[in-house]
Amino acid sequence: MSLALDAAAQDLLFREAQTANTFTDEPVTDEQVQAIYNLVKFAPTAFNQSPLRLTLVRSEDARKRLVAHAMGANGPKTLAAPLTAILSVDLDFHEKLPQLFPHAPGVKDTFFSEAAVREVAGTQNATLQAGYFILGIRAAGLAAGPMTGFDFAAVDKEFFGDGKQKSFLVINFGKPGPDAFFPRSPRLEYTEAVTTI
């Protein structure tokens, strides 16, 4: 009653949506990924810094190179997924701030001249964007399987040799396959998670 979003959309994005562990063979097209990106790009980041970069893993060769750095069941899951994305932070995101934050282009140098500051801010904001991306995948009628169980230092060496991009999440996505979902685990109740001061 208190939400503006209709009940079907609430179900699609949250109540009925679950993390998928298996997928059908149905391909995920570049057009679908573009539609997802062009929706979720409008969600906010600090100074509009937009530090998330997505690397779509389509070729067999790239998939094998990625899976070599997966932990446990994440390897076979990733080999069987129709599409996989490596999510990384652009550690030089500040170079694009004059384009992305044109009314105050100086923040590139005043706030973000130090690499250590950029890494903290970039990681925080790219992680937010990862959440938006998962919801965008659901908005496209697909299911996502996000995974942090990878050796990301090794993934970076494998794919981002120049040290300017730092991976932090891998997401398999597509139409959910047989037995795609684990039973839903409980969530914290409102009173457990929310305090008013």
Ligand X SMILES: Cc1cc2nc3c(=O)[nH]c(=O)nc-3n(C[C@H](O)[C@H](O)[C@H](O)COP(=O)(O)O)c2cc1C
Interacting residues with ligand X (CB under 6 A) = 18-19, 74, 146-149, 169, 181-182, 184-185
State which residue, 122 or 146, has the beta carbon closest to ligand X.
146
Query: What residue is closest to ligand X based on CB?
Result: 149
What's the min distance (Å) between Cβ of 98 and ligand X? 32
What's the min distance (Å) between Cβ of 9 and ligand X? 17
What's the min distance (Å) between Cβ of 104 and ligand X? 32
State which residue, 16 or 26, has the beta carbon closest to ligand X.
16
129: number of Cβ within 10 Å: 24
How far is residue 79's CA from residue 59's CA, in Å, rounded to a whole number? 11
What's the min distance (Å) between Cβ of 136 and ligand X? 14
How far is residue 71's CA from residue 87's CA, in Å, rounded to a whole number? 17
State which residue, 38 or 148, has the beta carbon closest to ligand X.
148
Q: Is the dihedral of CA 154, 22, 72, 62 positive or negative?
A: negative
State which residue, 155 or 169, has the beta carbon closest to ligand X.
169
How far lies 45's CA from each of 10, 93, 103, 124, 152, in Å?
23, 12, 16, 9, 23
Strands 165-174 and 83-90: antiparallel
